[in-house]
């Protein structure tokens, strides 16, 4: 298998050197192959960490499940090609088809409260790769690294003309932002999300033809809708500012900002139903993540509710994961959790010998932090925004809980803000700074950070989800800095 994997790597390098879509005219030919090789090395580290059975983290669970469920979906092709393609391309819920072939899956049926079940889309994609992967996680990861590298390329092309940094340095800064490099080099949704996001940014900012812009824009929208669509929603304030600035106040960034904030405020006031829908969605995401972060067992209770057994009840229950059942050995309490967006939950006593079907069983997160629930309150959501920004952008603190990976996140945090401080100290002349582009980045970074902070009470998950926020901060720094002032060669 190692020989096959090496051959695949060589083929990828050959294609990167020969196919035009992978080249960047303003960079030497060696940059892209070297960049891909670095991503593959990072991807190998990812596989070592997150496919190891003893790694106690939610991420490896996702990675292994994506592989397992993609293999299950791929196997449907050999039983019934027609059913396989129905599952591959149909977005309608065919419960009988799912029960027949995918009854043993978990991620396929996850995400009932999301707009799009993007787990299914990643399973679909990897099921296609399975036709040529020889069941090798490394080969699957080669494709993820390729998607991540294309993301770096498109971000570079979008911003290269706005930065004074040496072009090679600028490319490798984007490539080697720790969280971007790591999370876009693994079998997760992030490489595909990054590709869609970068194509969107290129469509908006790059100096391409209208036809090329339209192609990139269309493909990027499809990807962003299919993978973590809240990132697309977080781009709306930036797009609104850009539209106002381009059409109405080209000579005044301040007026553009003022009108942008005014329209957002008016929209929140005059569309209370839409606002409340967003509040309910964020409330539910926080509620679910908070319970998962604390750990426990969720079981079916009735058509409208789940039972949540906290970790301190483990001595009174037995969980059989083979049969996905929970048996109560001694009377204990459990929380009744509504399957809807209601937060009127209550605790009941569960009698001895009761048996329930397990929905999911989580061991809790080492990096869980206490956050204030939103509970469908817009006022509470507003109150939570400052803490959400702190949690998203400035944690972990040295005394925060977490595993050894916390120290890597802490190091990245220091490096990112050191670069920002350095850029401010050695900034370009004000009349040469592309403030409009910086505001685009700032709007998106703040919007995404607020959403992540409002919904995620687990620092480990925040480190993963915020990689685009840190990309925004690094890009702002790269646009501000004048490298000649610190004796960098342009």
Q: Is the pLDDT of residue 109 over 50?
A: yes
Q: Specify the higher pLDDT residue, 199 or 313.
A: 199
Average pLDDT, the chain: 89
Judge whether 343 and 376 are in contact, CB under 8 Å: yes
Q: What does the alpha-carbon distance between residue 389 and residue 458 come to, in Å, rounded to a whole number?
A: 14
Q: At what angle do helices 31-50 and 2-18 cross, to 10 degrees?
A: 150
pLDDT at 60: 43
Burial readout 420-452 (b: 16 or more C-beta within 10 A, e: otherwise)? beebeebbbeeeebbeebbbbbbbbbbbbbbbb
Q: What percent of the chain has pLDDT over 90?
A: 63
Round to whole Å and give the CA distance between 200 and 294.
36
Mean per-residue pLDDT, 295-312: 87
Position 489 confidence tier, pLDDT thresholds 50, 70, 90:
very low
Instruction: Please say if the pLDDT value at position 490 is more than 50.
Output: no
* Strand, helix or coil for residue 367: coil
Dump pLDDT digits (tens) for 26-74.
999 999 999 999 999 999 999 888 776 555 444 445 788 888 899 999 9
Whole-number Å distance between alpha carbons of 346 and 125: 41
- The pTM assigned to this predicted structure is 0.90
- Does the structure show a pLDDT above 80 at 340? no
Run of H or E including 100: helix 95-101
Distance CA(107)–CA(111), nearest Å, equals 8
- Residues 281, 369, 470: CA angle, nearest 5 degrees: 75
Half-sphere exposure of 266 (CA within 13 A, CB side): 6
Model pLDDT, residue 53:
54
pLDDT at residue 92 is higher than 70: no
Place of tokens 């960098």: 488
The whole-number pLDDT of residue 58 equals 43
pLDDT on residue 113:
42
- The answer, yes or no, to whether residue 414 has pLDDT greater than 50, is yes
DSSP state for residue 131 in the 8-state scheme: H
pLDDT at 366: 85
Q: Looking up tokens 């409340």, which residue turns up?
A: 276
Residues 366, 460 contacting (CB under 8 angstroms): yes
pLDDT at 183 over 50: yes
In contact, 455 and 286? CB cutoff 8 Å: yes
* Radius of gyration of the chain from its Cα atoms, rounded to whole angstroms: 24
Mean pLDDT, rounded, for 368-391: 93
* Nearest-angstrom CA–CA distance, 433 and 417: 19
What per-residue confidence (pLDDT) applies to 110?
58
- Mean of the pLDDT values across residues 212-222? 95
Give the torsion sign (CA, 474, 479, 483, 486): negative
Half-sphere exposure of 488 (CA within 13 A, CB side): 17
Q: Are 114 and 455 in contact (CB under 8 A)?
A: no
For the ranges 103-117, 225-239, 463-477, the lowest mean pLDDT is seen at 103-117
Beta-strand pair 317-320/332-338: unpaired
Range of weakest confidence among 74-83, 147-156, 285-294, 419-428: 285-294
* Spatial separation of the C-alpha atoms in residues 428 and 164, rounded to whole Å: 9
- The count of other CB atoms within 10 Å of the CB of residue 407 is 12
Beta bridge partners, 338, equal 305
What are the tens digits of pLDDT across the range 133-182? 999 999 999 999 999 999 999 999 999 999 999 999 999 999 999 999 99
Work out the percent of the chain whose per-residue pLDDT is above 70. Answer: 94
């Amino acid at each position: 298998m190692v020989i096959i994997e090496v051959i695949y790597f060589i083929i990828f390098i050959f294609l990167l050197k020969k196919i035009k879509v992978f080249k960047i005219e303003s960079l030497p030919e060696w940059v892209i192959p070297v960049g891909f090789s670095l991503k593959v090395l990072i991807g190998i580290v990812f596989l070592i960490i997150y496919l190891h059975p003893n790694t106690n983290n939610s991420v490896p669970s996702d990675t292994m499940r994506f592989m397992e469920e993609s293999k299950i979906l791929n196997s449907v092709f050999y039983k019934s090609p027609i059913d396989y393609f129905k599952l591959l391309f149909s977005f309608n819920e065919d419960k009988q088809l799912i029960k027949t072939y995918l009854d043993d899956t978990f991620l396929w049926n996850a995400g009932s409260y999301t707009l799009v079940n993007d787990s299914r889309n990643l399973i679909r994609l990897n099921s296609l790769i399975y036709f040529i992967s020889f069941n090798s996680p490394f080969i699957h990861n080669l494709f993820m690294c390729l998607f991540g590298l294309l993301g770096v390329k498109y971000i570079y092309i979008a911003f290269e003309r706005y930065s004074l940094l040496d072009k090679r340095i600028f490319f490798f800064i984007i490539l080697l932002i720790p969280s971007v490099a790591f999370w876009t080099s693994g079998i997760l949704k992030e490489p595909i999300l990054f590709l869609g996001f970068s194509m969107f940014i290129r469509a908006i900012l790059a100096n391409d033809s209208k036809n090329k812009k339209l192609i990139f824009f269309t493909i990027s929208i499809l990807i962003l809708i299919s993978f973590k669509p809240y990132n697309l929603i977080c781009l709306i304030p930036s797009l609104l500012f850009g539209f106002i600035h381009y059409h109405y106040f080209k000579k005044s960034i301040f007026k553009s900002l003022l009108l942008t904030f005014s329209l957002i405020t008016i929209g929140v006031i005059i569309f209370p139903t839409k606002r409340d829908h967003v509040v309910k969605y964020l409330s539910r995401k926080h509620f679910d993540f908070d319970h998962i972060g604390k750990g426990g067992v969720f079981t079916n209770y009735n058509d409208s509710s789940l039972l949540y057994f906290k970790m301190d009840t483990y001595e009174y229950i037995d969980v059989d994961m083979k049969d996905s059942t929970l048996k109560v050995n001694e009377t204990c309490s459990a929380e009744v959790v509504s399957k809807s967006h209601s937060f009127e939950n209550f605790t009941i006593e569960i009698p001895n010998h009761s048996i329930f079907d397990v929905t999911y069983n989580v061991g809790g997160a080492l990096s869980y932090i206490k956050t204030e629930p939103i509970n469908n309150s817009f006022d509470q959501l507003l109150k939570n925004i400052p803490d959400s920004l702190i949690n998203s952008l400035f944690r972990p603190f040295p005394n925060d809980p977490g595993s050894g990976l916390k120290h890597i996140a802490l190091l990245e945090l220091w490096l990112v803000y050191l670069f920002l401080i350095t850029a401010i100290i050695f900034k370009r002349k004000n009349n040469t700074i592309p403030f409009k582009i910086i505001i685009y980045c700032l709007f998106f970074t703040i919007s995404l950070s607020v959403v992540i902070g409002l919904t995620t009470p687990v620092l480990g998950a925040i480190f993963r989800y915020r990689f685009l926020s840190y990309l925004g901060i690094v890009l702002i720094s790269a646009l501000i800095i004048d490298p000649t002032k610190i004796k960098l060669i342009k």
